[in-house]
């Protein structure tokens, strides 16, 4: 049996952020406050409203990758995810249990959806002999039998397991978080959200529209008021904490701090208005949204919050533009990491002078792409075989990182597992030669040498819609 202790002193109504904050306590990001997690991951700025009923499903009516995995990536936390309609085939259920065990064995709780109710929660332990998972969400702390894990009440299974934690500069975390928040608020690049709901600034318009109709769900209205009021409270705290944390060493720093203070005031105003709405329709009873006086007050509070939030978006855009002026190298940082890679793909051999051309062909010939459980952001992984001076060709496997070996591999496919201490560097694909040179120099300076008996790894990551990152992992050993 293996269990992890879950201690969450700070609370939010946004269960995705609550779970991310809890998981971060097991990483070197435990210095981040809940307000910072809410802000950097965009949850402090979310609103998603059904324009007729103000359904309680609104806050979670998004692709769970966007609510969890993308936010973790902003914080420098890479994850492996599984997202499937249930029930699962037996082999898929077995692989899902394996990845949950792998995450817990690695010292991280696993984030799951709809464990007991349709909210995010944590799987913090398992008993393999009794075939049980131990899980906790806002509803209960209980057990889930292995063979019941794919019998989700809402017919969808989702888990996120921490795979790697990487250094990230505060500026880059904030830029990523602001970009996602602005896109959400302005309804840009949000094709993954439900078209029945209106999010961002349009969410306020939808809420105001709902109060003109006769279909408002009292429970849903009260729940959304709680979630949005809570989120904007954390938005206010987020900018307050950033203003105190940010160094004031240059005119640009001072300009950024001034924008933090402006944002802090605006989101204090939004939080105040939403708190009034929250008090008017207390959760879970919901008050009486059909009462004319309550409707009039609700419209007043929402209009004031809407007006302030529109000013807030302009400040966020100014912040993002100002952050662009910082010249801080985001990549090319060397570090050591203990990692296990599991890859399914095709084996190839190429002459050194033909490698790049042959690799491009190999990437297009993958027959099976096991997306059931894979790194969300991995485009491909290349595993290079150890090479001696006598070898004229380079042997390599190109494929995708998975959680475990498949029971039956298709013809021509192989499973490769590599576990070792690696020296790691990330950068842009066009910087590959420069990255290798810098990494090998750093390895020597740190008292290591490249382990020629272990495979090296190169992984291509889709960091955003317009940014692809190359990771290089060289196996190392002490001199």
CA end-to-end distance (rounded Å), the chain: 38
Task: Identify whether the C-beta of residue 210 lies closer than 8 Å to the C-beta of residue 54.
Answer: yes
310 and 209 inside one domain:
yes
Report CA-CA distances (Å) from 171 to 165, 176, 194, 212: 17, 9, 31, 43
Considering the domain boundaries, does residue 211 fall inside one?
yes
Q: Which residues contact 405 (CB under 8 A, 6 or more apart)?
A: 342, 344, 415, 417
Report CA-CA distances (Å) from 179 to 59, 155, 204, 317: 19, 32, 20, 8
Considering the domain boundaries, does residue 353 fall inside one?
yes
12 and 131 inside one domain:
yes
262: Cα separation from own chain's centroid: 28
Q: For residues 353 and 401, what is the distance between their CA atoms, to the nearest angstrom?
A: 26
146 and 234 inside one domain:
no
pLDDT tens track for 344-377: 889 999 999 998 888 888 876 665 555 555 666 6
Report CA-CA distances (Å) from 336 to 107, 355, 423, 442, 443: 18, 27, 5, 10, 9
Give the predicted TM-score (pTM) of the model.
0.90
Which of 28-32, 417-421, 458-462 is the most confident on average? Answer: 417-421
Considering the domain boundaries, does residue 349 fall inside one?
yes
Task: Identify whether the C-beta of residue 71 lies closer than 8 Å to the C-beta of residue 42.
Answer: yes
Task: Identify whether the C-beta of residue 453 lies closer than 8 Å to the C-beta of residue 419.
Answer: no
Among 305, 328, 351, residue at a domain's last position: 328
pLDDT of residue 370: 53
Considering the domain boundaries, does residue 187 fall inside one?
yes
pLDDT tens track for 279-304: 999 999 999 999 999 999 999 999 99
**Where in the sequence is the domain holding 457, given as residue range(s)?**
335-478
How many structural domains compose the chain?
A: 3
Helix (H, G, I), strand (E, B) or coil at 387: coil
Q: In which element (H, E) is residue 401 found?
A: strand 394-401
Among 112, 134, 165, residue at a domain's last position: 165
Q: For residues 16 and 74, what is the distance between their CA atoms, to the nearest angstrom?
A: 14
Q: Residue 289: CA atoms inside 13 Å, Cβ hemisphere, count?
A: 30
Considering the domain boundaries, does residue 199 fall inside one?
yes
Q: Which residues contact 451 (CB under 8 A, 6 or more apart)?
A: 420, 475, 476, 477
248 and 321 inside one domain:
yes
460 and 362 inside one domain:
yes
343 and 453 inside one domain:
yes
Considering the domain boundaries, does residue 39 fall inside one?
no
Question: Residue 303's domain is classified under what CATH number?
Answer: 1.20.120
Task: Identify whether the C-beta of residue 320 lies closer than 8 Å to the C-beta of residue 179.
Answer: yes
Question: Residue 145's domain is classified under what CATH number?
Answer: 3.90.70.10
403 and 461 inside one domain:
yes
pLDDT tens track for 241-289: 999 999 999 999 999 999 999 999 999 999 999 999 999 999 999 999 9
pLDDT tens track for 379-413: 789 999 998 888 889 999 998 887 777 667 777 78
358 and 318 inside one domain:
no
Of the chain, the percentage scoring pLDDT greater than 70 comes to 95
Q: For residues 243 and 227, what is the distance between their CA atoms, to the nearest angstrom?
A: 25
Considering the domain boundaries, does residue 37 fall inside one?
no
Q: For residues 446 and 94, what is the distance between their CA atoms, to the nearest angstrom?
A: 41
Report CA-CA distances (Å) from 295 to 134, 194, 204, 216: 44, 26, 14, 11
156 and 182 inside one domain:
no
Q: Which residues pair with 141 in a beta bridge?
A: 136
pLDDT of residue 408: 73
Q: In which element (H, E) is residue 443 found?
A: helix 432-445
Question: Residue 372's domain is classified under what CATH number?
Answer: 3.20.80.10
Q: In which element (H, E) is residue 174 found?
A: helix 170-185
Q: For residues 459 and 382, what is the distance between their CA atoms, to the nearest angstrom?
A: 6
Q: In which element (H, E) is residue 374 found?
A: strand 373-375
Helix (H, G, I), strand (E, B) or coil at 11: coil
pLDDT of residue 365: 64
Q: Which has more pLDDT, 192 or 201?
A: 201
Among 207, 275, 252, residue whose Cα is nearest residue 47: 207
pLDDT of residue 174: 97
Question: Any idea how long the chain is?
Answer: 479
200 and 232 inside one domain:
yes
Helix (H, G, I), strand (E, B) or coil at 92: helix
Among 117, 141, 165, residue at a domain's last position: 165
Q: Which has more pLDDT, 346 or 9?
A: 346
323 and 341 inside one domain:
no
| Angle, CA of 186, 190 and 193, to the nearest 5° | 115
149 and 245 inside one domain:
no
Considering the domain boundaries, does residue 64 fall inside one?
no
């Amino acid at each position: 049996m293996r269990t992890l202790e879950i201690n969450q002193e700070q609370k939010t109504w946004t269960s995705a952020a609550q779970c991310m904050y809890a998981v971060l306590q097991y990483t070197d990001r435990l210095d981040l406050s809940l307000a910072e997690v809410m802000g950097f991951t965009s949850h402090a700025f979310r609103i998603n409203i059904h324009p007729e009923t103000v359904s309680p499903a609104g806050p979670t009516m998004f692709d769970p990758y966007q609510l969890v995995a993308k936010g973790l990536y902003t914080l420098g936390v890479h994850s492996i995810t599984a997202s499937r309609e249930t029930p699962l085939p037996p082999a898929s259920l077995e692989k899902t249990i394996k990845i949950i065990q792998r995450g817990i064995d690695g010292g991280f709780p696993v984030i799951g959806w709809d464990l007991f109710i349709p909210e995010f929660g944590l799987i913090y332990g398992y008993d393999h002999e009794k075939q049980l998972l131990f899980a906790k969400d806002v509803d209960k702390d209980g057990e889930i039998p292995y063979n019941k894990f794919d019998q989700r009440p809402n017919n969808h299974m989702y888990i996120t397991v921490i795979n790697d934690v990487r250094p990230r500069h505060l500026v880059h975390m904030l830029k990523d978080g602001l970009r996602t928040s602005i896109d959400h608020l302005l309804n840009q690049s949000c094709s993954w959200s439900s078209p029945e709901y209106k999010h961002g600034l349009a969410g306020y318009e939808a809420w105001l529209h709902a109060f003109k109709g006769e279909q408002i769900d009292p429970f849903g209205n009260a729940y959304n008021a709680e979630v949005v009021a809570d989120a904007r409270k954390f938005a206010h705290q987020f900018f307050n904490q950033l203003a105190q944390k940010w160094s004031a060493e240059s005119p640009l720093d001072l300009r950024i701090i001034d924008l933090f203070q402006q944002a802090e005031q605006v989101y204090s105003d939004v939080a105040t208005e939403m708190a009034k709405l929250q008090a008017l329709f207390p959760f879970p009873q919901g008050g009486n949204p059909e009462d004319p006086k309550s409707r009039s007050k609700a419209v007043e509070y929402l209009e004031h919050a809407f007006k302030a939030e529109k000013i807030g978006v302009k400040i966020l855009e100014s912040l993002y533009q100002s952050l662009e002026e910082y010249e801080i190298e985001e990549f090319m940082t060397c570090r050591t990491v203990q990692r296990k890679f599991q890859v399914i793909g095709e084996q190839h051999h190429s002459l050194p002078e033909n490698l790049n051309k042959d690799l491009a062909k190999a990437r297009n010939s993958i027959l099976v792409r096991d997306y059931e459980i894979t790194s969300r952001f991995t485009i491909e992984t290349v595993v290079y075989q150890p090479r001696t001076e006598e070898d004229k060709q380079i042997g390599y496997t190109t494929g995708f990182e998975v959680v475990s070996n498949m029971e039956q591999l298709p013809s021509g496919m192989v499973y490769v597992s590599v576990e070792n201490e690696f020296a790691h560097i990330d950068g842009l694909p066009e910087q590959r030669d420069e990255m290798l040179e810098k990494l090998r120099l750093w390895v020597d300076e740190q008292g290591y040498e490249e382990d020629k008996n272990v495979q090296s790894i190169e992984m291509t990551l889709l960091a955003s819609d317009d940014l692809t990152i190359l990771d290089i992992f060289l196996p190392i050993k002490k001199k």
